[in-house]
Amino acid sequence: MRFIPWFAAIGLASAAVVQTSPAPKGPVDQLIPWLLDEDQQLRGVPFSELIFDTTGKKVLPFEANNAVDQRVAKAISAACDETMKRFNASDSKIQNIDRINEVSSHFEDTLRELLNATRGLHCDFPVTAEGKLQRSGYPDLRITDLQSKRVFYLDPKLYVAGSRDSSFRTFYFEPKKSTNKVRDDAVHFVVGFEHAPREIRSGSSNAPWKFTRWDLVDFSRCTVRLKAEFQGSNRDMYRPEAIVASSEK
């Protein structure tokens, strides 16, 4: 009988622990503090680590002494020169386009055409893991050196002169299995085309687009950062049960 109070005390203590212990945090409760700690963990993420952790594929560095890398870089350089020459022409189809964002796809198409016409190379739009062609998202072009089978990804970017040091976002990568287009161990290139500020004229056509330079970037040497953003669609917002008042018509 003398052990009964001891067992009772243990039972009461256990009940107290159960009552005072906080409930396990759900996934969202665990995620938010981590996202808020962006200065510690979410800036300066090596691009090569991001790609490997999300796709299982290696980002291969450009090797200046590698004959294949030299040959492909030379071919890309020639294609960039020709692309810029074509689009700077007064009769270029892009001169009638008002927004620079709408010009990007023309650069992708022309680079693909020129690189595909280069002996020993094949260039096309990369497909997703499901084999679907998807123009949006990284990367834009997939180049294969036919002899070595070495793969190169190429992502063209357009930017206005004077903005090279800007911290505004110009690149994004969305890690999703269904839309992933990085399916090879590959060299990753970004090619940036700089254009002069476009003069806006009143009462007549705008000044022509003028591209002034390009740079081919080895993306294995770059870092990226995560921008946390929660999204909602019109369908998410305008649900009947959420609306508290509406206009009469």
Specify the pLDDT at position 75: 97
Which of the four pLDDT bands, split at 50, 70 and 90, describes residue 2?
Answer: very low
Q: Do 186 and 149 form a contact (C-beta atoms < 8 A)?
A: no
Residues 6+ apart with CB under 8 A from 134: 125, 127, 128, 179, 181
Put simply, whether the predicted model's pTM sits higher than 0.75 gets the answer yes
Q: Which of 154, 155, 159 shows the shortest CA–CA distance to 212?
A: 159
Distance in angstroms (rounded) separating the CA atoms of residues 136 and 181: 10
Q: Which of 7-21, 56-70, 120-134, 204-218 has the highest mean pLDDT?
A: 56-70
pLDDT of residue 233: 86
pLDDT at 135: 82
pLDDT mean across residues, the chain:
84
Return the pLDDT at 4. Answer: 44
**Mean pLDDT, rounded, for 17-38:** 66
What pLDDT, on a 0 to 100 scale, did the predictor assign at position 6? 43
